[in-house]
Chains A and B, each alone.
Chain A
Amino acid sequence: MNALLDCQAVTKLYGVVIGVNDLTLTLEPGVHGLLGPNGAGKSTLIKLITGQLLPTAGEIRVLGENPWNNPRLLGRIGYCPEHDAFWKFLTGYQFVHTLAQLSGLGRGPAREATLSALERVGALGFKDKPMSTYSKGMRQRTKLAQSLVHDPDLLVLDEPLSGTDPVGRHELMDLIGELGAEGKSVLVSSHVMHEVQAMTQRFLLIYGGRVLAAGDVQEIRRLLYEIPHRIRVACDRPGELARHLAGGDGVDGVQTDAERGELWITTREPRQLFAALPRLAAQTGVALRELGSEDESLDAVFEYLVGDGI
Chain B
Amino acid sequence: MVGGKKIWIVALFLSLPLLLLGGVLASGGFDFPEEEGVDIEGMAMSAFLYLMYPQSLCILACLLYGASLLAGEIEDKTLVYLFARRMPRWKVLLGKYLATTAVLAGMTLTSMSLAYVLCGRPMGSKMWLAVSASTATACFTYTAVFCLLGLLVPRRAIPVGLIYAVAVEGFLSVVPAVVNELTTSYYLRSMAWQVAGVELPAKISEDFRREAQPFLAGAGGSAVFWVPALFALGALGVSAWVIHRRQWPLTEGV
CB within 8 Å of B: which residues of A? 14, 17, 19, 38-41, 43-44, 47, 50-54, 69, 71-72, 74-75, 77, 79, 81-83, 85-90, 99, 102-104, 146, 150, 158, 209
Contacts and interface: CB of A to CB of B under 8 A. Distances in A.
A52 B84 CA distance: 8
B208 interface: no
B87 interface: yes
B76 interface: yes
A47 B251 CA distance: 8
B247 interface: yes
Contacts of A85: 76-78, 80-81
A104 B86 contact: yes
Nearest to B87: A102
Contact of B77 (A75, A79, A83, A99): A83
A298 B81 CA distance: 32
B78 to A, nearest CB: 5
Nearest to B89: A69
A115 to B, nearest CB: 19
Contacts of B77: 81, 83, 85
A71 B87 contact: yes
Contact of B78 (A44, A87, A104): A87
A38 B254 CA distance: 8
Contacts of B3: 87, 89-90
Interface in B78-94: 78, 80-89, 92
B244 interface: yes
Contact of A52 (B87, B88, B244, B248): B248
B89 A19 contact: no
B36 interface: no
A44 B250 CA distance: 11
B37 interface: no
Interface string B1-40: 1011000000000000000000000000000000000000
A253 to B, nearest CB: 37
Contact of B84 (A17, A39, A50, A72): A50
A43 B253 contact: yes
Nearest to B78: A85
A77 B84 contact: yes
A71 B247 contact: no
Contacts of B86: 71-72, 74-75, 102-104, 150
Interface of B: 1, 3-4, 76-78, 80-89, 92, 244, 247-248, 250-254
A72 B88 CA distance: 9
A88 B80 CA distance: 15
Contacts of B81: 81, 85-86, 99, 102, 146
A53 B76 contact: no
B85 A71 contact: yes
Nearest to A46: B251
B72 to A, nearest CB: 10
B242 to A, nearest CB: 13
Contacts of A44: 254
18 contacts: A19-B254, A43-B253, A52-B250, A52-B251, A69-B89, A71-B85, A72-B86, A79-B84, A81-B81, A81-B250, A82-B251, A83-B77, A83-B252, A87-B76, A87-B78, A89-B4, A102-B86, A209-B254
B247 A54 contact: yes
Contacts of A43: 251-254
A110 to B, nearest CB: 12
Nearest to B243: A69
B83 A52 contact: yes
A54 B245 CA distance: 10
B103 to A, nearest CB: 14
B252 A102 contact: no
Contacts of A41: 254
Contacts of A14: 254
Interface centre among B85, B89, B92 (most CB of A within 10 A): B85
A275 to B, nearest CB: 45
Contacts of A83: 77, 251-252
A150 B87 CA distance: 12
B254 A74 contact: no
Contacts of A86: 78, 81
A47 B92 CA distance: 19
B57 to A, nearest CB: 23
Contacts of B84: 50-52, 74, 77, 79
B237 to A, nearest CB: 17
Contacts of A40: 254
B82 to A, nearest CB: 7
A17 B85 contact: no
A99 B4 contact: no
A48 to B, nearest CB: 10
A232 B131 CA distance: 85
Contacts of A104: 86-87
Nearest to A44: B254
Contacts of B89: 69, 71
A46 B250 CA distance: 11
Cβ-closest 7 pairs across A and B: A75-B86, A85-B77, A43-B253, A79-B84, A89-B3, A52-B250, A102-B85
